[in-house]
Structure formats: structure tokens, C-alpha cells
């Protein structure tokens, strides 16, 4: 038989056994729990879920904000051998229903903020038979089936306590799972379109803690972690649950929707030592008017989700005095596998391969490319998901033996630093030569009038691709299109310059804050179609 391993016990029980029971595990405006309190609550909920009829390897759906109860729920589901499925709280009722039907979970746990969308979704989610709500008020209002069981969170915990008291050894004992047992599903659009569930094992959670968490972050018990990315993202789940708990540190959780003002308030109140966000949010912080000492407690900032432009890195570090390490990860890999290192940042790059992973760059025929040449990025490591749930074609395209095809195009220099050229389908072929949108965007961001930008391909009347820049002006600045084109021509090879600069109020973004390039391309086409004048030469 394989050796027993349960990720929940690894993250929590181990800290209590090591004598850290009185250390704060999670804190924030929604409450705090020590490691001893967290362990007790997790065991109670695990037993309560068993009393509800949840079975090992069954999916449990979670639509919950970042609060201590969410950490308890994820850990309790894994503890009793079931599969935790945290789902984006940014979806509407129809979108939630689609994922509920796909996951086929019978038990759903929701926090009060999202009850309206959850109730709407349940009208089209026949597999869900039990709803657990934190707010006991109006438990049976607006549900599609009078036979659906609705339980208050507190009652499920009480049932778990009673079951534990009645059973020798406790009903909340960790299930005898293995390293390869299913633990977690995370929904992602990944590299192939519609949301699908990447399936992760118990052992993968320890893997990311022992690779990126320990060897890149160097996280230790005295650290306090605060993440703009939420717990339903792979990035946020590592930042606010896996890494701090594995090290015996503290996670700062805020159920409120992240805004620059709200995040600054939380940072100054709870004084994290590790701060995690994405490039879009770092840009927003720079535009927020936050005081220069706002991040004085932070020893290290982390960026992921999309490549961090060198200019944003420069502005942030100069203004707030905090170093940012940019890295590349994915939901399919569970967290970051290429990263810069503290004190060894090369701005504008994703860094070098994290210990425990391997990466390679291949051409269209699957042959390795030399340093300095673009290639499709593949990665392998023990934290890679086992595949997508019920998506055979997508699984075969993305998971190729031990290797994960990330869908990104990169170059690698002689020192092993990786340079992102963008998603493989975002590259622009201008005049027969490939152009990386990110390289042009990095140049545009160096201009004081540019707050945000996205460079996309525009198909002209001859059917040829041309780089076009959509630009959001920096606060207090006006954009001069001709000046920006000249600025790019002066700093880049001429063929890389944008042929048009379009001024927009904002850039369309995904729920994770990434720029929606497909939408930007359509926006650029619509705006250029209305113009009567010719392109900028």
C-alpha cells in the first residue's frame, strides 16, 4: 500500500504537534484563529460533512470569500478525503450553474455575500442536494426544491462535535489518503478556452510548499502573508493557505473585494511581511496616491498572473522601497515554477527555473530551440495536475507525458533567465517578422503619459497584421499618438512600432485582472473601422 499522506494534516496538525498551537494561523477583519483553534474547527467540520453524507473522493463546492471559514472548509474537505472545489466568486448565477453541473457536487458551501448568485444557480443545478450557509437567516428562501437540505454552518460544526464526542478516536481524524489521492479541483480557462477543472493531488500541495514556498520565498514562522489574489485562484491559494500554514506563519484574509484603497488600509493595519499581487494591481497601486511608507512592513513583494513590465517594477520599487520578484505559474502547475529571486531580480524577465522543476523551449516541430530564440514553453514537476476533469481532448493537448505545455512563448538567455513574449497565439507577424506585444508594451510604459496599455494585432484592408496600441493615459496626462509612435521607434526596431495608438478609458480584463486581448483586438478593430484618416506612418 502507498504511504499515507493527507495535505490537511501536513498543513495544520504538524504545526500543533510542533508546539505552535498558540501561534495565529489566520487573521483579518473577519476574525482570527490560532493553529490549535484551526485544527479543532477543521476536525469538527470534517466530521460534520461526514454526517451530511459526504464521501471520500466526492466533490464539495465552495463559493466563499477570503475568511477563516474558507480556510477551514478547504482543509476539512481534504481532511475527510473528499475533493475541495473552490469556485470563483466573480461568476454570476448562470456561470455558477454551469460549473456546478460540471463538477456534480452534492454539497455546496456559500458565504453570505454570494447567496443571491448561488440561489439563482441552484435552479439549474440538479446535482446539488445540500446547501450549507454561514448566515442562518432565511435558510429556505428562494430555493428550487422544497426537498433540498439547507444547513447552517454552525449546525454542521455542532453535528461534527457531537459525532467526535461519540466516537473513540474522534470522528474528525484525517482520512487515510495517499500522495496521489485527489484533493483539490481548480477551475481555469487554461490554454484552451472554456473553464475546466484541473485536478490536483494531496502530494502536489506539499510539493509547491517545499519548492517555491521554501526555496524562493524563504517563508518562515514570523512571516505574515497578504494576497490580493483570492483563495479560489491557484496563486491566491498558495499565498494565503499553503505557504503560510506549511511554514507555521500567519495568513491575513480580507473578505472585501480588493481595491487599491482597501488593500493599502489592510497592509497598514495588519502589517504583512510578504505581499502578493499581479501587474495590473501594482499599476493601480501606483495610481492610487498611497503614501510612500505604506509598505514599510513588507520584506518582499511577489507578482504573477502575467509578466511584470520592467517599468512598473522600477516605479513601484522606487516609490515604496520594496523589491518585487516576478514569476510564472499556472493553475495546472498549482503555483509558480519560474521566478526571480530576492536580491537577484532581472526586471522584465520571469526569472529562472524554481528548484524541483524543469523547463524547455521547443519549436513548432517539437525540437529544442537555442538560447535567444523563441519557443513554446514546457514545464515538468511533481505539482503538475493529473489532467482536466472530463476534458480528454484538452488534457491530451496540454498534458503531454510528464510535460505541461503552458501555451506561452518564451526566450531564454545564456544565464537561464526567461523572457516572456506572450501567449503563443498573441504574437504579431508584422512585415513577416514576429513581434512580441509585451516588448512594445514595456517600451510604451516607459513614457510618462502612459498608465496602462495593450498591443494587439489589427488586420488591415490588405489582410496584413499590424501592431496597434490601446493606451490608458496616466493620471493628469494627455496622450499624443504621434509622439508615442516616435518614442517606440526610437527605442525599438522600427518594425515593432505600433502603427496606431488608440486612447481608451480602460482596458477590458478577466476576473483575474489579466487583459482580455481578444476583446482588445475587437475594440481596436471597431475604433479603427470608424476612422476616416490613414494610419500613422
Residues of the chain with pLDDT under 70: 136-147, 165-172, 189-193, 431-432, 462-464, 511-512, 530-537
End-to-end alpha-carbon separation of the chain, Å? 70
C-alpha span between 135 and 510 (Å, rounded): 30
SS3 339: strand
Q: How far is CA 363 from CA 204, 357, 373, 396, in A?
A: 29, 20, 9, 18
pLDDT digits 0-9 by tens, 157-177: 999 999 876 565 555 689 999
* 110, 144: one domain: yes
Q: Per the domain annotation, does 535 fall within a domain?
A: no
* 337, 418: one domain: yes
Could you tell me which of 296, 4, 21 has the C-alpha nearest to residue 176?
Answer: 4
Output the domain CATH number for residue 215: 3.40.50.12780
Last residue of some domain: 423, 440, 464?
423
Q: Per the domain annotation, does 399 fall within a domain?
A: yes
* 354, 460: one domain: no
Helix locations, 225-365, DSSP H: 234-237, 243-247, 260-270, 279-286, 310-320
* 397, 516: one domain: no
| Greatest CA separation for the chain | 81
pLDDT digits 0-9 by tens, 397-428: 999 999 999 989 999 999 999 999 877 778 78
Q: Per the domain annotation, does 21 fall within a domain?
A: no
Q: Per the domain annotation, does 255 fall within a domain?
A: yes
Structural domain that includes position 481:
428-529
Question: 456 forms bridges with which residues in the sheet?
Answer: 468
Cell of 39: 485544527
Output the domain CATH number for residue 127: 3.40.50.980
* 410, 474: one domain: no
Last residue of some domain: 178, 206, 223?
178
**What pLDDT does residue 306 have?**
83
C-alpha span between 120 and 222 (Å, rounded): 43
Q: Per the domain annotation, does 383 fall within a domain?
A: yes
**What pLDDT does residue 260 have?**
95
Report the run of H or E that residue 50 belongs to, with start and end.
helix 35-51
* 432, 416: one domain: no
C-alpha span between 78 and 60 (Å, rounded): 10
- Which is it for strands 336-339 and 324-329: parallel, antiparallel or unpaired? antiparallel
Q: Per the domain annotation, does 2 fall within a domain?
A: no
* 358, 489: one domain: no
C-alpha span between 227 and 216 (Å, rounded): 17
Q: Per the domain annotation, does 140 fall within a domain?
A: yes
CA dihedral 67, 68, 71, 74 (to 10 degrees): -90
Could you tell me which of 189, 6, 4, 3 has the C-alpha nearest to residue 84?
Answer: 6
* 237, 345: one domain: yes
Last residue of some domain: 371, 390, 423?
423
* 414, 437: one domain: no
What average pLDDT does the chain have?
Answer: 91
Residue that is written with C-alpha cell 489518503 in the block: 177
Helix locations, 310-423, DSSP H: 310-320, 392-398
* 382, 446: one domain: no
**What pLDDT does residue 188 have?**
86
Q: Per the domain annotation, does 183 fall within a domain?
A: no
* 402, 300: one domain: yes
Output the domain CATH number for residue 464: 3.30.300.30
Query: What's the number of domains the chain is made of?
Result: 3
Whether 419 contacts 413, CB under 8 Å: yes
**What pLDDT does residue 432 have?**
61
* 317, 173: one domain: no
C-alpha span between 109 and 219 (Å, rounded): 31
Amino acid at each position: 500500500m502507498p504511504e499515507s499522506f493527507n495535505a490537511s494534516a501536513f498543513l495544520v496538525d504538524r504545526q500543533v504537534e510542533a508546539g505552535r498551537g498558540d501561534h495565529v494561523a489566520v487573521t483579518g477583519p473577519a476574525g482570527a484563529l490560532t493553529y490549535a483553534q484551526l485544527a479543532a474547527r477543521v476536525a469538527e467540520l470534517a466530521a460534520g460533512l461526514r454526517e451530511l453524507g459526504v464521501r471520500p473522493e466526492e466533490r464539495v463546492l465552495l463559493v466563499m470569500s477570503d475568511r477563516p471559514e474558507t480556510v477551514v472548509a478547504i482543509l476539512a474537505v481534504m481532511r475527510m478525503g473528499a475533493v475541495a472545489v473552490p469556485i470563483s466568486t466573480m461568476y454570476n448565477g448562470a456561470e455558477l450553474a454551469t460549473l456546478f453541473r460540471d463538477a456534480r457536487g452534492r454539497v455546496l458551501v456559500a458565504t453570505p455575500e454570494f447567496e443571491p448568485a448561488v440561489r439563482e444557480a441552484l435552479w439549474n443545478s440538479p446535482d446539488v442536494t445540500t446547501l450549507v450557509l454561514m448566515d442562518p437567516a432565511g435558510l429556505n428562501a428562494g430555493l428550487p426544491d422544497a426537498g433540498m437540505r439547507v444547513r447552517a454552518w454552525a449546525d454542521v460544526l455542532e453535528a461534527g462535535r457531537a459525532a467526535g464526542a461519540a466516537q473513540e478516536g474522534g470522528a474528525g481524524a484525517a482520512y487515510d489518503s495517499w500522495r496521489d489521492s485527489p484533493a483539490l479541483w481548480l477551475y481555469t480557462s487554461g490554454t484552451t478556452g472554456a473553464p475546466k477543472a484541473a485536478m490536483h493531488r494531496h502530494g502536489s500541495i506539499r510539493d509547491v510548499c517545499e519548492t517555491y514556498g521554501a526555496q524562493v520565498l524563504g517563508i518562515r514562522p514570523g512571516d505574515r502573508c497578504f494576497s490580493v489574489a483570492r483563495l479560489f485562484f491557484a496563486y491566491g491559494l498558495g499565498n494565503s493557505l499553503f505557504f503560510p500554514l506549511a511554514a507555521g506563519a500567519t495568513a491575513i484574509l480580507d473578505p472585501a473585494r480588493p481595491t487599491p484603497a482597501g488593500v493599502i488600509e489592510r497592509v497598514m493595519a495588519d502589517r504583512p511581511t510578504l505581499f502578493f499581487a499581479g501587474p495590473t494591481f501594482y499599476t493601480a497601486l501606483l495610481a492610487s496616491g498611497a503614501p510612500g511608507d505604506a509598505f514599510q512592513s513588507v520584506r518582499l513583494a511577489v507578482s504573477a498572473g502575467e509578466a511584470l513590465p520592467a517599468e512598473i517594477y522600477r516605479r513601484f520599487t522606487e516609490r515604496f522601497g520594496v523589491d518585487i520578484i516576478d514569476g510564472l505559474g499556472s493553475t495546472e502547475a498549482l503555483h509558480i515554477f519560474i521566478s526571480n529571486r530576492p536580491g537577484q531580480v532581472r526586471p522584465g524577465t520571469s526569472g529562472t527555473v524554481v528548484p524541483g522543476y524543469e523547463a524547455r523551449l521547443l519549436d513548432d516541430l517539437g525540437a529544442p530551440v537555442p538560447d535567444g530564440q523563441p519557443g513554446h514553453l514546457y514545464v515538468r514537476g511533481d505539482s503538475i495536475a493529473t489532467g482536466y476533469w472530463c476534458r480528454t481532448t484538452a488534457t491530451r493537448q496540454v498534458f503531454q507525458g510528464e510535460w505541461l505545455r503552458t501555451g506561452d512563448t518564451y526566450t531564454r538567455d545564456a544565464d537561464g533567465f526567461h523572457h516572456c513574449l506572450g501567449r503563443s497565439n498573441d504574437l504579431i507577424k508584422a512585415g513577416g517578422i514576429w513581434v512580441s506585444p509585451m516588448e512594445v508594451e514595456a517600451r510604451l510604459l516607459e513614457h510618462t503619459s502612459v498608465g496602462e496599455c495593450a498591443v494587439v494585432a489589427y488586420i488591415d484592408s490588405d489582410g496584413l497584421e499590424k501592431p496597434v496600441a490601446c493606451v490608458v493615459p496616466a493620471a493628469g496626462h494627455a496622450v499624443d499618438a504621434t509622439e508615442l509612435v516616435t518614442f517606440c521607434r526610437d527605442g525599438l526596431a522600427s518594425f515593432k512600432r505600433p502603427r496606431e495608438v488608440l486612447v481608451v478609458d480602460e482596458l477590458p480584463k478577466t476576473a483575474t485582472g489579466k487583459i482580455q486581448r481578444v476583446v482588445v483586438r475587437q475594440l481596436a478593430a471597431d475604433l479603427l473601422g470608424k476612422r476616416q484618416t490613414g494610419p500613422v506612418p
